[in-house]
Amino acid sequence: MTILETRRQHWPDEAACAASAERLARHDALRDAYVELHGPLGAGKTTYARHLLHALGVQGRIKSPTYTVMEPYDASLAGAALPVFHFDFYRFDDPQEWEDAGFREVFAGAGLKLAEWPEKAEELLPEPDLQITIEPGPGDERHATLAAHTARGVALLA
Ligand SMILES: Nc1ncnc2c1ncn2[C@@H]1O[C@H](COP(=O)(O)OP(=O)(O)OP(=O)(O)O)[C@@H](O)[C@H]1O
Ligand SMILES: [Mg+2]
């Protein structure tokens, strides 16, 4: 996979993670984007997704899609409705589920797709517009690398 551009971010605490997600949420290019969240267990992938969803106007509890694989949301971007699909493929091991659960249609359709543990469904997923890799440091510290794979991804880094 080609990487067109990367950004490194240092998050001393969760507030910095939230600020990064809030900056991403201001981009119109998010509308039909596919964003992957990489990093080990407890890195902060769901936390980043939560801050992003809140910044996109989703209210209330945002649960981790670990058991359901996908959680859909009605968010908004620049005053217009934005469907968001939050995936966690950690427990995904049956390619038939990809068809049965309608994930193929979701990825072919409109809206923002976010995926944790995409490596567990690698052969089925498209190339991401943006790959966010979170490396845990001591305590609440994190290093994040944002890598753009497409022109849309480059727009998300602007
Ligand atoms: N700088 C930070 N950025 C993100 N999360 C942080 C930070 N500092 C502390 N945390 C905490 O780390 C935890 C990250 O858990 P989270 O569920 O987001 O991880 P995850 O990467 O989704 O793990 P999993 O692979 O199990 O899904 C949360 O409790 C969050 O509050
Ligand atoms: Mg998670």
pLDDT digits (tens, 9 = 90+) for 53-101: 999 999 989 999 999 999 999 999 999 999 999 999 999 989 999 999 9
Contact 35, 149 (CB under 8 A): no
Backbone angles phi, psi at 15, to 5 degrees: -60, -35
| Residues with C-beta less than 6 Å from any ligand 1 atom | 11, 13-14, 17, 39, 41-47, 64, 116, 140, 142
Q: What is 33-88 written as a DSSP string?
A: -EEEEE-STTSSHHHHHHHHHHHTT--S----TTTTSEEEEEEEETTEEEEEEEEE
> Rounded to two decimals, what is the model's pTM?
0.97
Quickly tell me which residue has 């509308």 as its tokens: 31
Tell me what the pLDDT averaged over the chain comes to: 97
Q: Which atom of ligand 1 is nearest to the CA of 47?
A: 18
Q: Whole-angstrom Cα distance, residue 90 to residue 118?
A: 8
Considering only CA atoms, which residue is closest to atom 5 of ligand 1?
Answer: 44
Q: Which of 51, 49, 57, 87 lies closest to 75, judged by CA? A: 57
